[in-house]
Structure 1
Amino acid sequence: MTVDSPAIGKTALHNVRVFDGHGLTEPTTVVIDGAVIGTDAGGAEGIDGHGAILLPGLIDAHVHLSGIESLDRLAAHGVTTALDMTTWPPERLAALRDRPGTTDIRSAGTPIIGEGGLHAQIPGMAEHAVIHGPDEAEAMVAERAAAGSDYIKLMLEAPGEGGPDEASAKAVVAAAHAQELRIVAHAASLGAYTLALDVGADIVTHVPADGQLPAEDVRRMAAEHRVAAPTLVMMQGIAKALGMLGFADCLASVATLHAAGVPVLAGSDANSEPGVPYQPPHGDSLHRELELLVTAGLSAAAALRAATTLPAQHFGLPDRGAIAPGMRADLVLLEGDPLADIHATRAITRVWCGGIAHV
């Protein structure tokens, strides 16, 4: 790759093949003009990609953050947007948002949980997160909206397992939808997954570890336009850590969801929290998630969409997920061809976050 005549604020990537959501374009020029994709290469620094592949910045649809080092690892692995599903305490999250030149964070803020679930044991969380009945839902959602939550995380368990009861969960969904906020439901068991459907969750994260999704739940996911974020890398890690045999069911569930036309998003559940059965590493684990999605039966192109166009669409981020004029300049330059071998997403040579090269 060669570079010539630098100019401030504008970079022209010449001779790159762009992933357009389905395949690769012929070699073309992509202009980074400030924070967005531009059209005029005049006066730009020129970089010759020599036919390399340019992806939209990757979006991890399920992370938990720690310190600034987690942002650095995400960006270094081409993850230019991360959808946080709870970073505790809130002050830690606030310190990581709105940092130019690294991964852009959107977050659920504090989740809504039941009195008996595992999350109620996190020090300090129960006081702020436990819902005791439907009458608390509106205020809890309003509090999160005022604090800047981009969506609401609802921690569901199978009935009787300590999560919010059905009436409370339905009230949370209604309150969130009244404020035009999406509901992301944690559902890692068959009972919790069905409950997520019954209460009206928009996005269901995880897949059951205790059996394959029944055909009726798959049918409902498709018919009711729900979205799946299966976090296969986390489910595999938990299965290994706890000696469980259910990961084949997780793969089969994803295969049936995808075959039914349910949008499947790539989310790693990356975290570094003590006491969690498995801690997928930030950044690297999203690439592993893409590989597992292909193992489950998605094409390489579908797996790439799961980390680009689809999370942008289903989390209301119209300025990213694709490479086109006016879009946010989140870009990943690769040496290999991920459509031929999904492992090539790891062969990253350069990353831009909002038009700023990550180094």
Structure 2
Amino acid sequence: MPQLDDSAPATDDRLDLGPLASRARRSLNGDHPGVVGTRLPPLVDHHVHLMIIGADALVDSALGAVLDLGAPLDVLTDLRSREGLPRTDFAGAFLTAPGGYPVGRTWAAEGCAREVPPAEGDGRGALPSPAEAAVAEQHAFGASVVKVALNTAAGAVFDATTLDAIVAAAHARGLPVVAHVEGEGMARLAIDAGVDALAHAPFTEQVDDELIARAVALGQRWISTLFVAGYGERTPDAARAVDNLRRFHAAGGRVLYGTDLGNGDQPLGVNPRELELLVEAGLAASDVLEALTDPWPREDPAEGVVTFAADPAPETLDDLPAWLAGAVLVPTEEAEDLETL
């Protein structure tokens, strides 16, 4: 596993966690004060697959919200009526070229991929185009984002015209577009099309600095998923993912914490090894917390809850992942503010 940088400055023997953190006392029953620790906004995993791990797998976790990035529409129907935490947003089905990823994959539940034929003509016909129809379908079932699959290793991918049509149709409905990019040239295809987020830090190709600068200027977000690029091994894919994310972050790009939960053996909650890799990619403690608590695709965090992490607060970046993995989700009124860190 990566060797973490423990040189970040500390204040009063505590790591500088930035403005999102505040000192708090957790009251167990409202009358008697409980342990002292740190209060944070609700934690978010921006890449999960509930069709694989199960709809209720994260109910008792520390996650306040998740973004499901690919499931059959009947799964969405069931989950939309479900109450409780974590708050869940959805992409609906993967939109993919005919025969494209993830069609035919053993883990892909029936109906989780929606094949969209190539765009024809100028797209201004009387009837909705295939791209418009596919986006409208996801939106009608409650999708908060649209996900497109761009994977040259697993079959056909969208041409630029069809991808542009999907992005335009999604943006017309106020839906951001998330792209799975895998294979040479797929990051460029997504950036050229104005995709709003990448589902993974690119791991199969080295993204050049000029393209990273364009992604940052676009306001694109990259969901990390660094752990699944190598599952803890120093593979070429893992090294590329960390390097690409490091340069994207250094250029001012917005990083979102995400694990691709359901892909391989991972904890049902916060994955400390993903956090270790974010640190290796150059994120300071405050950056890690921003990535882990950003409510995107919504503007506001889950209501009525906060994250509480008991003392001792971390003194170095080495301490941060395990400390965050031990945090709990509590009602807002249960964490009494003491001071700003």
TM normalised by structure 2 equals 0.79
Task: Return closer, same or farther for 1:142/1:212 CA change in 2, 3 Å cut-off.
Answer: same
Deviation at 1:291, TM superposition (A): 2.1
Q: 2:77 maps to which residue? A: 94
Task: Return closer, same or farther for 1:23/1:138 CA change in 2, 3 Å cut-off.
Answer: closer
Letter in 2 for 1:76: D
Q: How many residues align?
A: 305
Q: 1:48 maps to which residue? A: 33
For the 8 Å contact 1:60–1:266, the answer to whether it is kept is yes
Deviation at 1:21, TM superposition (A): 5.0
CA deviations 1:101-155 (Å, max 9, x no partner) are 42111101112111232312146338x6001022311111111111111110111
Question: Which aligned pairs between 1:160-179 and structure 2 lie closer than 5 A?
Answer: 161-179=155-173
Q: 1:304 maps to which residue? A: 289
Question: Which aligned pairs between 1:284-303 and structure 2 lie closer than 5 A?
Answer: 284-285=270-271, 287-303=272-288
For the 8 Å contact 2:116–2:131, the answer to whether it is kept is yes
Question: Which aligned pairs between 1:7-22 and structure 2 lie closer than 5 A?
Answer: 22=19
Matched residue SS, 1:51: strand
Q: Are 1:329 and 2:301 an aligned pair? A: no
Q: 1:187 maps to which residue? A: 181
Partner Cα distance (2:168, 2:308) in 1: 42
Letter in 1 for 2:307: V
Letter in 1 for 2:329: V
Q: 1:351 maps to which residue? A: 329
Matched residue SS, 2:102: helix
- Unaligned runs of at least 5 residues, structure 2: 1-13, 120-128, 336-341
Percent identity among equivalent residues?
Answer: 29
Q: Are 1:83 and 2:67 an aligned pair? A: yes
Q: Are 1:318 and 2:300 an aligned pair? A: yes
Letter in 2 for 1:104: R
CA deviations 1:218-251 (Å, max 9, x no partner) are 11111121111121122122x85xx942311211
Structure 1 segments, 4+ long, off by >6 Å, are 29-32, 353-357
Q: 2:88 maps to which residue? A: 105
Partner Cα distance (1:144, 1:356) in 2: 38
Partner Cα distance (2:98, 2:131) in 1: 14
Q: 1:259 maps to which residue? A: 250
For the 8 Å contact 1:110–1:144, the answer to whether it is kept is yes
More helix by share: 1
Partner Cα distance (1:84, 1:185) in 2: 13
Task: Return closer, same or farther for 1:117/1:69 CA change in 2, 3 Å cut-off.
Answer: closer
CA deviations 1:266-324 (Å, max 9, x no partner) are 0000016xxxxx35343143x3322210121101211111011x3x1x4123244xxxx
For the 8 Å contact 1:101–1:355, the answer to whether it is kept is no
For the 8 Å contact 1:100–1:354, the answer to whether it is kept is no
Higher mean displacement: 182-191 or 263-272: 182-191
Q: 1:7 maps to which residue? A: none
Q: Are 1:204 and 2:198 an aligned pair? A: yes
For the 8 Å contact 2:178–2:198, the answer to whether it is kept is yes
Task: Return closer, same or farther for 1:160/1:319 CA change in 2, 3 Å cut-off.
Answer: closer
Name which of 146, 149, 160 aligns with 1:155.
149
Higher mean displacement: 157-166 or 293-302: 157-166
Letter in 2 for 1:256: R
1 or 2 for the larger relative contact order (CA 8 Å, sep ≥6)?
Answer: 2
Partner Cα distance (1:236, 1:160) in 2: 19
Partner Cα distance (2:235, 2:165) in 1: 34
Higher mean displacement: 112-121 or 95-104: 95-104
* Alignment RMSD (CA, Å): 3.2
For the 8 Å contact 2:25–2:33, the answer to whether it is kept is no
